[in-house]
Copies of this chain bind each other. A is one copy, B any other.
Amino acid sequence: MTTTALDRPKLSHESMMTDTMMRIPDFAIDPLFVARWSPRAFDGSDLTKTELLTLLEAARWAPSAYNAQPWRFIYALRGDESWQALLGALVPFNQSWASSASALVFILSDRHMRNPDGSSKGASHSHSFDAGAAWANLALQATRNGLQTHGMSGFDEASARAAMNIPDDFRVEAAIAIGRIGNADALPEGLRRREHPSDRLSLQHLAFEGRWPD
């Protein structure tokens, strides 16, 4: 990146990629989907609570089975008292780079479908899947707003539950680092080389007409 998000706080999503990062979709899709990627170099700048809640707002409009909305979010902005508790629940490798993010969010999901009084009416088939839809909304709104996100499954579940008081009924789905893209040169050598949008399998390996291929 030759400019940072700080230089130009309202980057259009296209301009967030340089030529060497270009992803070329096979079909005509909204450029937002390929502009969203998962950097590790964040600039350590502050994010306001409103900027963060705007991302969670997009998340809450995701679809879910029976509109059960199983997603929950525990968040900290850098500088918040709870920042270290959330950061400390990540595995050390992720702590090393996510410490430069502007916000951390843990995404949880309710394993149960609920009666109006909150009691369980049985296991949910789709709580993780639905929470994943909320996560995509969050990530896309972030890209739209000149931010990027990086989802992590690299966290210590027991530490996370203890640090954030997470009830057993809620699955810890992922931790999310959110921020403005920073200088990749600040990353260790090995990570610097990986600091670009990743490619994808082509649809022929993913999408099948009528039935799974024999």
**A interface vs B, CB < 8 Å?**
23, 25-30, 33-34, 36-38, 50, 53-54, 56-58, 60-63, 65-67, 69, 71-76, 80-82, 85-86, 107, 109, 125-126, 128-137, 139-141, 144, 149, 151-153, 163-167, 170, 173-174, 198, 200-201, 203, 206-212, 214
Residues of B within 8 A of A37 (CB): 63
The answer to whether B75 touches A58, judged by C-beta atoms less than 8 angstroms apart, is: no
Residues of B within 8 A of A58 (CB): 29-30, 33
CB-CB nearest in chain B for A60 = B200
A3 to B211 Cα, complex, angstroms: 35
The answer to whether A33 touches B212, judged by C-beta atoms less than 8 angstroms apart, is: no
A208 to B105 Cα, complex, angstroms: 10
The answer to whether B210 touches A129, judged by C-beta atoms less than 8 angstroms apart, is: no
